[in-house]
């Protein structure tokens, strides 16, 4: 591979931008089908209640209304499935209650789907929904982990004793206990990982259509993984075979994990379209998005770190309680387990690690993946604890990290993962230099002169992306494979269509993947188009989450291109009257080694489709598909440093500088990679300082609009310093790792460590997320007595 | 039901609307101008920003009837044929967009800022954009793009 103007390593401007910048993107709500009706989802206004009865007669008689359906109408339809079976410590399977698409007999959270009202217009459907009479017989609600585990707590599900879904563990408990027995120092910490609401700016939407002539269903939906929706909706909910169910995820306005799950609304819409024989459209209003898009995080943890006299880590013990919400969403059960507990070695050589996680049902919105999904929770806990250890032992907080870094690879951690390669010193050094760590005390003094408290915080971390391989995740309870497909179709005139099972909802796949193919085939960047998001066009796919698209999906494309080249060599050898082994391919030309005799990729493609002079026995056409199942996770790593200035009078925290030094593997498009890092950092700073989902005790959502839930705005954030040190992933041919979640994983502990560093002179030694001005001010007041 | 007439992207457009019909719904549903997006219901996100008589307005806070007789410009009306407006070009050049959903509102809001301030500082851009939410970019590249776009516009619109 050689970098050219638009090849691998170039900051090519994005193919997708022209349509987005001119208002010609095609998002789900922009699509209208002839004869479409509008569905309005009636949601539960209470957190927990028996449904005594539902009277739909007034709504059915309202102007423009075609139908009202409730849970009883959908009773024969399958429930919404979950994708990962977790086993508890004692070997028993998790409690897996039914999740009817429309509530049946009971509602379990504010926002639970109760009925769909279908009418000629959006307004008519919404107004008629007000006429549906539901007899809610309220029950006590459990709206938090503390409430769920309390003595005598109400049961979200009768079958889940004490509201526990599973009680899981990873690591060697006995070895970890032994490490603590030998420790000179033990440092403990209690942390809460605040519950977040994802808030992609495009609200979810869907349009379902049923064609009675063919029996085909089509669902347009705001999904990160259309094939996964097809699998779950078709095989588990509606009982439709794949060839009769097409899922289209067109332009999607951000996902961040919240558009991974197969949602009840997708099933309700598709089933309703089948009942009525008309297209049915639904667009979620923001107020409903707050109470129906899956939420993220929500952990309570306590952890202990065992150290010897000189600060070497000997053992780590983590106990976590996780909130899963009212039903098990698609990836809900694996986020606090296999995307969390196995991260606790971090970048450190801690020889004994043990993590136990007890997960609870509550009367809240289902919790699922959110940018980072488990890895931010693990990183936050570990980096807060390491920082605290440095302070308690009187060690330099950089040196305690450096002292414990892993330096020999491959490295088998005590919690299942095997890291292939990394250079944690390099990213640490880079970050220290880029942030002028050494010059910090002068800046602290300058701030102090202005009456401000300045602090600096650091986080050194690893993450795990592209979860795989399928056989391993299958043995751990995954109910799907985690491979990816890629197809490369070289057209007769030499232009190329690339088909990927991953989905781009902001990540720029149409550009990055085209760069790879253009570079490998030596065809013009503009002659390569990437197709994604339509189960009728793409052979198969598992979609986009866990920063997997490039490492898994990109590799599938890479392997498909290699197959194209191999076939092209056979055609070229025939045309050039040479042996296949003598054909070399470079820069778009098949050449007989050591000669100037060659055929271009365009000539070979034309021959493949007009095979008048063609190798005997070779199929015409030049199109190849590859499925790639990775050998391992990839392991991006890095150091994030945050610098804050706190106003002790008001408690306001100003993030004055954020430096990221990351190893994300080979960078295909530096411009896009920087953008991914920026977005992740903003999300992480949002978690650290601004964002928090709050429920009242009765299960009412307190932070149910942008007036109550603080999203990071432009003025809340600084510009970011982005730096790279690259080690190549050893087990995929591109050497790529993943970048979409790095910021939200690495930066929250750096920010909180900085806030504590700023306030330590005032006697503040702990700080919870989000460090709002109110919380900071109160901590200062308390410390000052 | 009242009928409204307004000039949208240089063309006179009319329609019959309900009194409660919002400008954003008139643009999207009646005129098929789906480039203007709806991201919230509390006038917080700014995905729906258009220009009404040359000023940026959240079209979810404005009734279609209020725009009767007005000059309205949407994201579809910004480019000159196939040539992008300098602000659109700056967003493309500086990767000021990812999923594209907030982008029309961001660009329309930025054009209004640039017509008032040809060389806004980083601080001024960040303050101006307080009514526009983006979840993808962390605003870093949006700020860079708006400053570059404003310079390219040279105080014009």
ipTM beyond 0.95?
A: yes
Alpha carbon distance A190, A775 (integer Å): 17
Query: Is A54 in a helix, a strand, or coil?
Result: strand
B-contacting residues in A 30-89 (Cβ below 8 Å): 30
B-contacting residues in A 520-539 (Cβ below 8 Å): none
Structure tokens at B1: 């039901």
The three-state (H, E, C) secondary structure of A154-174, written as one string: CCCCCCCHHHEEEEEEEECHH
The reported pLDDT for the residue numbered B155 is: 72
Q: Smallest Cβ distance to A24: which of B35, B98, B126?
A: B35
B44 contact residues in A (CB cutoff 8 A): 705-707, 711
Q: Smallest Cβ distance to B39: which of A286, A672, A683?
A: A286
Q: Report the mean per-residue pLDDT for chain A.
A: 97
Residue A771 C-alpha, separation from nearest chain B C-alpha, in angstroms? 19
Beta strands in A75-148 (DSSP E): 106-107, 113-119, 133-138
Q: Smallest Cβ distance to B84: which of A21, A29, A507?
A: A21
B-contacting residues in A 696-725 (Cβ below 8 Å): 705-707, 711-715, 717, 719-720
B-contacting residues in A 265-304 (Cβ below 8 Å): 283, 285-287
A23/B75 touch (CB, cutoff 8 Å), yes or no: yes
A63 contact residues in B (CB cutoff 8 A): none
- Percentage of chain A modeled with pLDDT above 70: 99
State the number of CA atoms in the 13 A half-sphere of A624 facing the CB: 19
A159, part of any domain:
no
A221, part of any domain:
yes
Our CA angle for A211, A215, A220, nearest 5°, is 55
B140/A706 touch (CB, cutoff 8 Å), yes or no: no
CA nearest neighbour of B139 among B99, B91, B96: B96
A624 and A653 co-located in one domain: no
B136 contact residues in A (CB cutoff 8 A): 201, 254, 506, 675, 679
Size of interface A-B (CB pairs under 8 A): 183
B39/A285 touch (CB, cutoff 8 Å), yes or no: no
A509 contact residues in B (CB cutoff 8 A): none
A714/B33 touch (CB, cutoff 8 Å), yes or no: no
Confidence band, pLDDT 50/70/90 cuts, at residue A604: very high
A286/B104 touch (CB, cutoff 8 Å), yes or no: no
A647 and A540 co-located in one domain: no
Alpha carbon distance A560, B98 (integer Å): 27
A681/B138 touch (CB, cutoff 8 Å), yes or no: yes
Residue tagged 């999906």 (tokens) = A553
Q: Smallest Cβ distance to A17: which of B33, B92, B126?
A: B92
Query: Is B36 in a helix, a strand, or coil?
Result: coil
B35/A711 touch (CB, cutoff 8 Å), yes or no: no
A583-599: average pLDDT: 97
Position B130 pLDDT exceeds 80 = yes
- Residue B58 in contact with partner chain A when CB distance is under 8 A: no
B37/A253 touch (CB, cutoff 8 Å), yes or no: yes
A75 and A214 co-located in one domain: yes
Q: How far apart are the first and last CA of chain B?
A: 35
Probe site for chain A from B30, B61, B95, B138 (most A CB atoms < 10 A):
B138
The reported pLDDT for the residue numbered A4 is: 58
Alpha carbon distance B138, B129 (integer Å): 12
- Residue B124 in contact with partner chain A when CB distance is under 8 A: no
- Residue B35 in contact with partner chain A when CB distance is under 8 A: yes
A359 and A425 co-located in one domain: yes
Before A26, cis peptide (omega within 30)?
A: no
The reported pLDDT for the residue numbered A118 is: 98
Position A68 pLDDT exceeds 60 = yes
A431 and A305 co-located in one domain: yes
The reported pLDDT for the residue numbered A3 is: 45
Q: Write out pLDDT tens, residues A633-686.
A: 999 999 999 999 999 999 999 999 999 999 999 999 999 999 999 999 999 999
A671 and A561 co-located in one domain: no
pTM over 0.90: yes
For residue B131, the chain A residue with the least C-alpha distance is: A713
A560 and A638 co-located in one domain: no
A185, part of any domain:
no
B-contacting residues in A 163-202 (Cβ below 8 Å): 199-202
A146, part of any domain:
no
- Residue B45 in contact with partner chain A when CB distance is under 8 A: yes
**Rg of chain A on CA atoms, in Å:** 27
Q: Write out pLDDT tens, residues A527-544.
A: 999 999 999 999 999 999
A155, part of any domain:
no
Asked if residue A397 lies in contact with residue A423, where contact means CB atoms within 8 angstroms, the answer is no
Position A584 pLDDT exceeds 70 = yes
Query: Is A542 in a helix, a strand, or coil?
Result: coil
A656 and A571 co-located in one domain: no
A145, part of any domain:
no
Confidence band, pLDDT 50/70/90 cuts, at residue A548: very high
A196 contact residues in B (CB cutoff 8 A): none
Position A233 pLDDT exceeds 70 = yes
- Percentage of chain A modeled with pLDDT above 90: 98
Confidence band, pLDDT 50/70/90 cuts, at residue A1: very low
Probe site for chain A from B29, B42, B51, B101 (most A CB atoms < 10 A):
B101
B39/A705 touch (CB, cutoff 8 Å), yes or no: no
B106-124: average pLDDT: 98
Structure tokens at A580: 């296949």
B95/A672 touch (CB, cutoff 8 Å), yes or no: yes
B136/A675 touch (CB, cutoff 8 Å), yes or no: yes
- Residue B68 in contact with partner chain A when CB distance is under 8 A: no
A286 contact residues in B (CB cutoff 8 A): 39-42, 45
CATH number, position A624: 3.30.365.10
A456 and A513 co-located in one domain: no
Residue B35 C-alpha, separation from nearest chain A C-alpha, in angstroms? 4
DSSP string, A321-359: EEEEESS--TTTTTTTTTTTGGGTTTTB--SEEEEEEEE
A307 and A439 co-located in one domain: yes
Instruction: Pick the last residue of a domain from A581, A596, A628.
Output: A628
Position A769 pLDDT exceeds 70 = yes
The reported pLDDT for the residue numbered A5 is: 83
- Residue A17 in contact with partner chain B when CB distance is under 8 A: yes
Q: Which 8-state DSSP code applies to residue A267?
A: H
Q: Domain spans of chain B?
A: 3-77, 86-153
Structure tokens at A449: 């002169």
Residue A408 C-alpha, separation from nearest chain B C-alpha, in angstroms? 35
A258-282: average pLDDT: 98
Tell me how crowded residue A144 is: count the other CB atoms within 10 A of its CB: 22
Q: How is chain A split among helix, strand and coil, in percent rounded to 5? A: 30, 25, 45
Asked if residue B38 lies in contact with residue B50, where contact means CB atoms within 8 angstroms, the answer is no
**Rg of chain B on CA atoms, in Å:** 15
> Is CATH 1.10.150.120 correct for B86-153?
yes
- Residue A683 in contact with partner chain B when CB distance is under 8 A: yes
- Residue B86 in contact with partner chain A when CB distance is under 8 A: no
Alpha carbon distance A770, A560 (integer Å): 46
The reported pLDDT for the residue numbered B157 is: 63
Query: Is A210 in a helix, a strand, or coil?
Result: strand
B-contacting residues in A 87-126 (Cβ below 8 Å): 123
A227 and A131 co-located in one domain: yes
* Contacting residues for B102 by C-beta, under 8 A, at least 6 apart: A201, A253, B37, B39, B45, B46, B47, B132, B133, B134, B135, B136
The reported pLDDT for the residue numbered A785 is: 84
Confidence band, pLDDT 50/70/90 cuts, at residue B107: very high
Position A2 pLDDT exceeds 50 = no
Residue A105 domain boundaries: 35-139+202-253+259-290
CA nearest neighbour of A197 among B40, B96, B50: B40
CATH of the domain spanning B3-77: 3.10.20.30
A124, part of any domain:
yes
B101/A671 touch (CB, cutoff 8 Å), yes or no: no
Structure tokens at A148: 């769920």
A20/B103 touch (CB, cutoff 8 Å), yes or no: yes
The reported pLDDT for the residue numbered B1 is: 79
Instruction: Pick the last residue of a domain from A290, A312, A341.
Output: A290
Position A759 pLDDT exceeds 90 = yes
Residue B68 C-alpha, separation from nearest chain A C-alpha, in angstroms? 22
Q: Smallest Cβ distance to A719: which of B44, B103, B140?
A: B140
Number of compact structural domains in chain A: 3
Asked if residue A111 lies in contact with residue A288, where contact means CB atoms within 8 angstroms, the answer is yes
Q: Smallest Cβ distance to A720: which of B44, B104, B140?
A: B140
A22/B33 touch (CB, cutoff 8 Å), yes or no: no
Confidence band, pLDDT 50/70/90 cuts, at residue A44: very high
CATH number, position A106: 3.90.1170.50
A91, part of any domain:
yes
Alpha carbon distance A447, A651 (integer Å): 15
Asked if residue A225 lies in contact with residue A552, where contact means CB atoms within 8 angstroms, the answer is no
Asked if residue A635 lies in contact with residue A737, where contact means CB atoms within 8 angstroms, the answer is yes
A715 contact residues in B (CB cutoff 8 A): 126-127, 129-130
A636 and A680 co-located in one domain: yes
A705/B134 touch (CB, cutoff 8 Å), yes or no: no
């Amino acid at each position: 591979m050689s970098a050219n103007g638009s090849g691998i390593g170039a900051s090519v401007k994005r193919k997708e931008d022209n349509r987005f910048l001119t208002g010609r993107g095609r998002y789900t709500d922009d699509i209208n089908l002839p004869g479409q009706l509008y569905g309005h989802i009636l949601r539960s206004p209470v957190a927990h209640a028996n449904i005594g009865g539902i009277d739909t007669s007034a709504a059915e008689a309202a102007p423009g209304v075609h139908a009202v359906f409730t849970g009883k109408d959908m009773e024969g339809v399958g429930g919404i499935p979950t994708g990962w079976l977790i086993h508890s410590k004692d070997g028993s399977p998790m409690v897996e209650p039914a999740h009817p698409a429309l509530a049946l007999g009971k509602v379990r959270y504010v926002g639970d789907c109760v009925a769909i009202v279908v009418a000629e217009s959006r307004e008519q459907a919404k107004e008629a929904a007000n006429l549906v009479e539901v007899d809610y017989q309220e029950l006590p609600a459990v709206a938090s982990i503390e409430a769920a585990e309390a003595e005598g707590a109400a049961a979200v599900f009768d079958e889940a004793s004490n509201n526990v879904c599973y009680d899981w563990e990873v690591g060697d408990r006995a070895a970890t206990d032994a490490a603590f027995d030998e420790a000179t120092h033990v440092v403990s910490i209690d942390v809460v990982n605040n519950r977040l609401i994802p808030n992609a700016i495009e609200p979810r939407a869907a349009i379902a259509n049923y064609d009675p002539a063919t029996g085909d269903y089509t669902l347009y939906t705001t999904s990160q993984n259309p094939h996964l929706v097809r699998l779950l909706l078709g095989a588990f909910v509606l009982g439709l075979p794949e060839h009769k169910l097409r899922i289209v995820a067109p332009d999607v306005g951000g996902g961040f994990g919240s558009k991974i799950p197969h949602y009840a609304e997708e099933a309700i819409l598709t089933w309703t379209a089948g009942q009525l024989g008309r297209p049915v459209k639904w667009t979620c209003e923001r107020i409903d998005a707050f109470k129906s898009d899956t939420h993220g995080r929500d952990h309570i943890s306590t952890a202990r770190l065992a150290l010897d006299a000189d600060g070497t880590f000997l053992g780590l013990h983590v106990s976590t309680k996780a909130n899963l919400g009212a039903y098990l969403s698609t990836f809900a059960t694996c986020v606090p387990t296999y995307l969390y507990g196995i991260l606790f070695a971090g970048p450190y050589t801690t020889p004994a690690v043990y993590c136990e996680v007890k997960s609870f049902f509550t009367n809240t919105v289902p919790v699922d993946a959110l940018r980072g999904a488990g890895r931010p929770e693990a990183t936050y806990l570990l980096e807060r604890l390491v920082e605290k250890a440095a302070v308690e032992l009187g060690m330099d907080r950089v040196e305690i990290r450096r002292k414990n870094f892993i330096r020999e690879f491959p490295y088998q951690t005590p919690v299942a993962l095997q890291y292939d390669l990394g250079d944690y010193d390099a990213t640490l050094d880079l970050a220290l230099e880029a942030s002028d760590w050494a010059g910090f005390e002068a800046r602290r003094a300058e701030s102090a002169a202005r009456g401000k408290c300045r602090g600096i915080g650091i986080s050194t971390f690893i993450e795990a992306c592209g979860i795989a391989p399928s056989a391993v995740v299958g043995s751990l309870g995954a109910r799907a494979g985690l491979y990816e497909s890629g197809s490369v179709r070289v057209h007769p005139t030499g232009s190329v269509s690339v088909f990927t099972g991953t989905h781009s909802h902001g990540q720029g796949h149409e550009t990055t993947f085209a760069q790879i193919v253009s570079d490998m085939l030596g065809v013009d960047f503009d002659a390569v188009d990437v197709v994604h998001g339509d189960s009728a066009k793409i052979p198969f796919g598992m979609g986009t989450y866990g920063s997997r698209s490039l490492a898994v999906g990109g590799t599938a494309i890479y392997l498909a291109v290699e197959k194209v080249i191999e076939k092209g060599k056979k055609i070229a050898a025939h045309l050039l009257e040479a042996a296949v082994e003598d054909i070399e391919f470079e820069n778009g030309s098949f050449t007989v080694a050591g000669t100037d005799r060659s055929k271009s990729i365009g000539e070979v493609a034309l021959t493949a489709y007009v095979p008048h002079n063609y190798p005997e026995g070779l199929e015409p056409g030049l199109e190849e598909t590859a499925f790639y199942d990775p050998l391992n996770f990839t392991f991006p790593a890095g150091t994030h440093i945050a610098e804050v200035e706190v106003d002790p009078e008001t408690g306001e925290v100003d993030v004055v500088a954020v430096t990221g030094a990351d190893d994300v593997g080979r960078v295909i498009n530096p411009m896009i990679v920087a953008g991914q890092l920026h977005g992740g950092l903003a999300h992480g700073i949002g978690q650290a300082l601004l964002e928090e989902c709050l429920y009242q005790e009765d299960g009412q959502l307190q932070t149910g609009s942008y007036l109550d839930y603080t999203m990071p705005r432009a003025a809340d954030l600084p510009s970011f310093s982005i730096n790279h040190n690259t080690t190549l992933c050893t087990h995929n041919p591109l050497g790529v790792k993943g970048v979409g979640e790095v910021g939200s994983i690495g930066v929250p502990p750096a920010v909180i460590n900085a806030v504590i560093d700023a306030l330590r002179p005032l006697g503040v030694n702990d700080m919870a997320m989000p460090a709002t001005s109110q919380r900071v001010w109160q901590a200062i007041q308390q410390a000052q007595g | 039901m009242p009928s409204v007439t307004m000039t949208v992207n240089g063309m006179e457009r009319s329609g019959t609307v309900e009194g409660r019909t919002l400008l954003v719904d008139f643009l999207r549903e009646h005129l098929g101008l789906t480039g203007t997006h709806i991201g919230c219901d509390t006038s917080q996100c700014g995905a729906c920003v258009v220009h009404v008589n040359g000023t940026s307005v959240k079209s979810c806070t404005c009734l279609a009837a209020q725009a009767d007789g007005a000059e309205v410009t949407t994201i579809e009306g910004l480019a000159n044929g196939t040539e992008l407006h300098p602000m659109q070009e700056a967003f493309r050049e500086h990767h000021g967009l990812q999923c594209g959903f907030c982008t029309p509102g961001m660009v329309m809001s930025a054009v209004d800022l640039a017509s008032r301030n040809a060389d806004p500082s980083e601080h001024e851009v960040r303050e101006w954009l307080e009514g526009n939410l983006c979840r993808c970019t962390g605003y870093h590249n949006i700020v860079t793009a708006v400053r570059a776009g404003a310079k390219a516009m040279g105080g014009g619109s």
